[in-house]
Amino acid sequence: MEFLRSPLNPVIAYPLRLFDCCPISDGAAAVIMAAEEVARRFTDTPIYVRGMGQASDTMALHDREDLTTIRATRLAARQAYEMAGLGPEDIDVADVHDCFTIAEVVATEDLGFFPKGEGGKAAEEGRTSLRGDKPINPDGGLKAKGHPVGATGVAMAYEMFKQLRGEADRRQVRDAEIGLIHNVGASGATVAIQIYGR
Amino acid sequence: VKAVFTVKDYREALEEGYLLASKCERCGAIHLPPRPVCPKCCSRKLERFRASKRGRVAAYAVIHIPPSRMRGEEPYAVAIVELMEGMKLSGRLLGISTCEEIDTGIEVKVDFIKVGDKTLPCFRPLRVTHP
């Protein structure tokens, strides 16, 4: 990990270095959405949307109440958890919008996976790794997979579809039954969250 | 109380060297730039005032890889500053180019810079901290 502090990983905007920032890249993703009885004609193992939420906040960062929270994430998460009748403790795997290293930390706290201020520590301890107790971004997330802005959210839906059907190969989270995806626009001025189940 | 606020009013105030703000007469919320309608309680009874030019750094970054229109200026600092009245504002933090010179909580004063034909608010540290 020495290279992370070396000139090979130059500072972009202190304290963020090159590998703290996602690459804006090309990419495409697609989903087929259908009513339950229609979906059954295509597959025996559809994935169900159990809950969803969407919320917005002021565009200007300096007008936000708290600079260490994305309020739209908290509001959207509350809606999604309520609709699904589930809580953060029920989520087996999640794809969160890690456009920057700190964005994942803030997201995992705002989604209720870890207490405020402990998201970074949880990642350091490996709790968010593939074999941790709260696996985050098994597909590598925006930072490792790339961020083809418009396709990113749909790619998250694709990843959860694979995870919940047990088809994620070497990045499979064991016994994943409930998955959450979290997508952010305009530095948190808008957030969309969906919870999927088998 | 002026009924309609335009961006022009705010820009003219910047050119004259002050920050135009508004305060809601009903709920007491303050806004920068000023608003015609209070975003907290929807009241239209707002009073305008000149904001203080003192504040503290609430958050900052030192930009090493700038967007194209800022090329050549790097490294430079940007900050979100909380003014004495409590509202926050973003801008360049002038006179600082390394992370060692800056921290949250340091006192700054509001200044103004010309960028093209626009006058923008910016900040200057009251005293430069040395590592």
Distance from chain centroid for Cα A194: 10
Distances (CA, A) of B101 to B95, B120, B125, B129: 9, 23, 10, 5
pLDDT in the model for residue B7: 83
**Stated length of chain B:** 131
Closest CA–CA distance from residue A36 to any residue of chain B (Å): 42
Rounded Cα–Cα distance for residues A139 and B33 (Å): 42
Tell me the pLDDT of chain A averaged across its residues. 96
Residue A16: C-alpha distances to residues A13, A101, A150 (Å): 5, 8, 24
Rounded to whole angstroms, the Cα distance separating B125 from A71 reads 30
Give the DSSP letter string of A144-160. HH---HHHHHHHHHHHH
Name the region of B64 (left: φ>0; alpha: ψ -120 to 50; beta: rest).
alpha
Instruction: Tell me the helices (H) and strands (E) count for chain A, helix number first.
Output: 6, 6
Find the distance separating the first CA and the last CA of chain A, reported in whole Å: 37
The answer to whether A32 faces chain B, any CB pair under 8 Å, is: no
Of A162, A156, A69, the C-alpha closest to A110 is A69
Residues A115, A86: Cα–Cα separation, whole Å: 18
pLDDT 10s digit of each residue in chain B, 131 long?
Answer: 455 667 888 999 999 999 999 999 999 999 999 988 999 999 999 999 999 999 999 999 999 999 998 999 999 999 999 999 999 999 999 999 999 999 999 999 999 999 889 999 999 999 755 54
Residue (of A192, A19, A172, A15) closest to A97 by Cα position: A192
Query: Which tokens hold the place of A111?
Result: 């989604």
Q: Are A178 and A92 in contact (CB under 8 A)?
A: yes
**What is the pLDDT, as a whole number, of residue B2?**
52
Nearest CA in chain A to B80: A62
State how beta strands B76-83 and B54-63 pair: antiparallel
A65 touches chain B (CB under 8 A): no
Q: Which string of DSSP letters, residue by residue, matches B49-76?
A: EEPPSEEEEEEEEEESS--GGGTTS-SE
Dihedral of alpha carbons B113, B116, B119, B123, sign: negative
Task: Collect all residues of chain A within an 8 Å Cβ-Cβ radius of residue B75.
Answer: 14
Each residue's pLDDT tens digit, A103-142: 999 999 999 999 999 999 999 999 999 999 999 999 999 9
CB contact under 8 A, B99 and A14: yes
Say whether pLDDT at A90 is over 90.
yes
ipTM for the predicted complex comes to 0.86
Q: Which of B35, B62, B83 to mutate to test the interface with A (most CBs of A within 10 A)?
A: B62
Cis peptide before B75 (omega within 30 of 0): yes
Q: How far apart are CA B90 and CA A117, in angstroms?
A: 24
Backbone angles phi, psi at A150, to 5 degrees: -65, -30
- Measured CA distances, A99 to A29, A137, A165, A183 (Å): 18, 12, 26, 10
